[in-house]
Amino acid sequence: MSALDGLYQELILDHSKRPIGKGELDAPEGALTASHHEYNPSCGDEIDLSIAVDPATGLVEGLAWEGQGCSISMASASILSQLLREEKLSVDEAQERVDAFREMIQSRGEIEPDEELLGDAVALQGVSKFVMRIKCAMLGWVALEADLKQVATQRG
Ligand code: ZN
């Protein structure tokens, strides 16, 4: 294991121990909200992830989740939450991050992930070499994607 891998392992462990975004959604008055339950039968991971979007600006104003599962699934959901809390993203920008994450995680380590788009999520790049764990890493992102679609439908 390289020093860099060790650093990434630590980051993942840290996020799984002290998850960001875990709890109830605190949606601002008048916000559009969406919630999605996602289950990964191959590992038993599950998550309920909710978002709140300002109908006027289209920005994701809030994100929260509840879930249980392996450390990769929980760390990935936590990192995703951090990403969307650090900077207010539009629905389209959030979808762009989901796409970038999926591309990285399905690349089997062959593409260089965009750290500007993915932040700490690049730490999960190593997961792409383990086919069985890809669904674990994708869990929260798939739920977010479903929420974004729900909101897009509500906005019309
Ligand atoms: Zn898992």
Question: What is the distance in A from the centroid of ligand 1 to the CA of 68?
Answer: 9
Contact at 8 Å (CB) between 34 and 40? no
Q: pTM for this one?
A: 0.94
**Domain containing residue 29:** 3-155
- Tell me the per-residue pLDDT of 104-129, one tens digit each, with 9 for 90 and over: 999 887 888 999 999 999 989 988 88
Order of strands across the sheet that contains 32-40? 32-40, 45-53, 60-68
Take residue 10 and report the two structure tokens written for it: 């630590």
Question: What is the distance in A from the centroid of ligand 1 to the CA of 151?
Answer: 27
CATH number, domain containing residue 28? 3.90.1010.10
Domain count along the chain: 1
What is the structure's pLDDT at 111?
Answer: 85
- Tell me the per-residue pLDDT of 23-36, one tens digit each, with 9 for 90 and over: 999 999 999 999 99
Q: Residue 46 in 3-state DSSP?
A: strand
Question: What is the distance in A from the centroid of ligand 1 to the CA of 115?
Answer: 24
**Residue found by looking up tokens 């980051």 in the block:** 11
Question: What is the distance in A from the centroid of ligand 1 to the CA of 71?
Answer: 7
pLDDT at 3 over 90: no
Contact at 8 Å (CB) between 141 and 101? yes
Question: What is the distance in A from the centroid of ligand 1 to the CA of 42?
Answer: 8
What is the mean predicted confidence (pLDDT) over 133-145? 97
- Tell me the per-residue pLDDT of 29-76, one tens digit each, with 9 for 90 and over: 999 999 999 999 999 999 999 999 999 999 999 999 999 999 999 999
In sequence order, the 6+-apart residues with CB closer than 8 A to the CB of 61 are 27, 28, 31, 52, 53, 54, 88
Contact at 8 Å (CB) between 27 and 44? no
What is the structure's pLDDT at 109?
Answer: 78
